[in-house]
Amino acid sequence: MLDIKAIRADFPILDRVLPNGKNLVYFDNAATSQKPQCVIDAMSNFYENYNSNAHRSNHTLADEASSALENARNQISNFFGAKPENMIYTSGATEAINLVSYGWAKNNLDNGDVIVITEMEHHADIVPWQELSKEKGVEVRYVPINNETFMLDMEAFEIALDGAALVCVTHTSNVLGIRNPIEEIIKMSKGKNCKVLIDCAQGAPHEKINFETLGADFLAISAHKMAGPTGIGCLLTSNERIQEMGPFMTGGSMIKKVTTDGSTFKDGHEMFETGTPRIAEAIGWGAAVEWLEQFNMVDIHNHVHGIAAYAGKEMIKIPGIKIFGDPSNRDSSGAVSFLHETIQSQDLALLLDQGGYAVRTGHHCAQPLMDALGVPSTNRASFWIYNTQEEVEGFITHLKYICERFA
């Protein structure tokens, strides 16, 4: 059982009073989560006490920075059921997906090869494949959603697998909050000898993801949606896939030797971590993982699901409100997308903000999904571990007031 009051005490920003005097109620967790004090302290401690470049010098500060960077890699990879050598630091899930595109697919796919993605992907898992298609002539196939259930059309997915080389699927939709049947998708894809990339940016804050158990070839993860800092993430992949990859970026850190005749590169994950490492961010992510490990991720999911299901149930009672997705689905992970039939989404978001409620509005970097839903944008309330039913009750009251006054 989660002690929500104690959890909230770990997040100083939740005490924020907005300029209009309203208390902050943060419902934009699918965009980024807030950070516990231990993450803030860990990063501040680095800058205050041992700030130095890692893997560069032999002095005390450099040794401490290097140790902290690699200790964080051990913590994070262990949290996701992977070995440290199978984790490549990136700037986030977007760079991790681009690393697969430019580092693996560009070297292993060619004209006529097929990549399968879905309509519900974030742009980060669409645009790289479109660019690869222009450059290499690969075919990109899009699996549609069922507009009644908002789930992936698995019959269409099975058809799309025919002759495919790579499957790229989001673990959980950042718009609909729907968790895809990842285990089934991986099994079906592997049965067709496809490599598999799973975008876990939205799934990682809500369930325990295990790289070895899942059996995908690539997992893309961001820190900032799971209590960690912005600007860091990782790609988890196998030694076999790493050996098939070439560098995405080149420069310092990733080289063995540079001469006027050419360059040779380091092996393993080091080949892909060029330039100054994201040391403070890695330390912060390690602290976030350590903070999360005190909880059972099933308890986090159940708590968030309960709040989202309640929100959805009450919101559809409000005249003019339409919800996209099914927050009551047990696999849904805390995102409720909605629109009012006459109040513009931007206006609705501003009116909610006047009550202290921070929600997201726009296409959520998922325009093909917006097209499939037949709307240009939605509002989205997304919940996490520190949100409460009382906050949702206040949100419903304020939303009713807005709809009654401005509709």
| Residues known to be catalytic | 365
CA 283, chain centre distance (Å): 19
Q: Which of 78, 82, 81, 89 is nearest to 55 (CA)?
A: 89
DSSP string for residues in 252-303: SSSEEEEETTEEEE-SGGGGG--SS--HHHHHHHHHHHHHHTTS-HHHHHHH
Phi, psi of 26 (to 5 degrees): -95, 105
Which of 167, 158, 225 lies closest to 196 in space, CA to CA?
Answer: 167
Beta strands in 295-343 (DSSP E): 321-324, 335-340
Closest CA to 165 of 125, 129, 192, 134: 192
Q: Per residue in 337-360, is it b (16+ CB within 10 Å) or e — as a string?
A: bbbbeebebeebbebbbebbbbbb
- Helix, strand, or coil (residue 54): coil
Q: What are the CB-based long-range contacts (under 8 Å, 24+) for 159-163? A: 160/116, 161/116, 161/188, 161/189, 161/192, 161/194, 162/192, 163/114
The residue assigned the tokens 């920003």 is 13
Contact 298, 271 (CB under 8 A): no
Helix 279-292 with 60-79: angle, nearest 10 deg? 40
For every residue of 70-112, DSSP letters joined together read: HHHHHHHHHHTT--GGGEEEESSHHHHHHHIIIIIIHHH--TT
3-state secondary structure of 304: helix
Q: Are strands 114-118 and 139-143 parallel, antiparallel or unpaired?
A: parallel
Using an 8 Å Cβ cutoff, are 97 and 147 in contact?
Answer: no
Asked if 248 contacts 187 with a C-beta cutoff of 8 angstroms, the reply is: no
Q: For the CA atoms of the chain, what is the radius of gyration?
A: 22
